[in-house]
Amino acid sequence: MLSAILVLTVIAVVFGLLLGFAAIRFKVEGDPIVDQIDSLLPQTQCGQCGYAGCRPYATAMANDEADINQCPPGGETVILALADLLGKDPKPLSEEHGVEKPKMVAVIDEQTCIGCTLCIQACPVDCILGAGKQMHTVIEKECTGCELCLPPCPVDCILMVEVGSDPQSWKWPYPEQKEVQP
């Protein structure tokens, strides 16, 4: 009886120490689930989800504070991927956060721009080039289409233009569902 208790206690202590050591030795910096969620988000940094960027939204989702259907730029694809990752049921995009739109980029009408730099300060990815009282322009390749530069512009000289597809980036359409049910 006593020896059994002793043996169990020793085992418990050994494993406790082992686990304690492992917890310190193999500690993971940061929250890996946040990184995983963040890597699925489109990184538009538009804030339409109600958070100040993609990473804060990812953190909120990891903490179960936000739903998986709040990212309009990601749309259905991102919702499906998030549902898959987090083991939740996919649901349609929440309407209060916006609607899925084709990919856009900002274009500055250079005739109208007064060089106020307000849009430069608003751009979350630093893709607007310019200086005070100098004409500004958008680096189209790096624009995420977040539309955050639109409200600050005092002369409304920024337009959102749809990115057309070329033969290289064209996607084959989903085959029509013409199946006849028997």
Partner 1 sequence: MSSRLWHFHGGLHLPGHKAESTSLPITSMPVATQLIVPLQQHIGAAAHLLVEVGQKVLKGEPIARPEGVVSAAIHAPSSGTITAIEPHKIPHPSGLPDLCVFIDTDGEERWCERTPLANAETADADSLRRHIQASGIVGMGGAGFPSHLKLNPGEYAVNTLILNGAECEPYITCDDMLMRERPAQILQGARLMCRALAARQVIIAIEDNKPEALAALRTEAARATTSNIEIIAIPTLYPTGGERQLIKVVTGQEVPSKGLPVEIGVVCHNVATAAAVYRAVELGEPLVSRIVTVTGEQVPQPRNLEIAFGTPLQAVLDYCQVEDGTDNSILMGGPMMGLPLTDSQTPLVKTSNCLLIRPHEKKPSAQPCIRCGACAGVCPAQLLPQQLYWHARAKAYDRIQDFHLFDCIECGCCDAVCPSHIPLVDYYRFAKTEIWAQEREKKVADLARERHEFREFRLQREKEERAARHAQKKKAVSSDDASADEAKKAAIQAAMERAKAKRNSNAATAKNTDNLTAAQKQQIEEADQRRARVKENSGDND
Task: Give the binding site for partner 1 (CB under 8 A).
Answer: 38, 41-45, 53-54, 77, 80, 84, 124-127, 142, 144, 165-175, 178-182
Nearest approach, Cβ of residue 113 and partner 1 (Å): 21
* CB 24, min distance to partner 1, A: 29
**Residue 25 or 167 with smaller CB distance to partner 1:** 167
Q: Rounded to the nearest whole angstrom, what is the least distance from the CB of residue 77 to partner 1 in the complex?
A: 7
Report the alpha-carbon angle 57-63-69, nearest 5. 45
Shortest approach of partner 1 to residue 147 CB, angstroms?
A: 14
> Residue 12 half-sphere exposure, CB side, CA atoms within 13 Å?
6
CA atoms within a 13 Å half-sphere pointing along the CA-CB vector of 110: 8
Please give the Cα distance from 42 to 55 (Å, whole number). Answer: 11
| Residue 111 or 168 with smaller CB distance to partner 1 | 168
CB of 125 to partner 1, least distance (A): 4
Tell me how far apart the alpha carbons of residues 90 and 150 are, in angstroms, rounded to a whole number.
32
Q: Judged by CB, which is closer to partner 1: 128, or 158?
A: 128
How many CB atoms within 10 Å of residue 97? 15
Q: Which is closer to partner 1, CB of 84 or CB of 110?
A: 84
148: exposed, middle or buried (Cβ count in 10 Å: 0-12, 13-18, 19+)? buried
Nearer to partner 1, 55 or 97 (CB): 55
- Of 44, 63, 22, 66, nearest in space to 144 by CA: 44
Q: Closest separation between CB of residue 58 and partner 1, Å? A: 11
Nearest CB to partner 1, comparing residues 28 and 180: 180
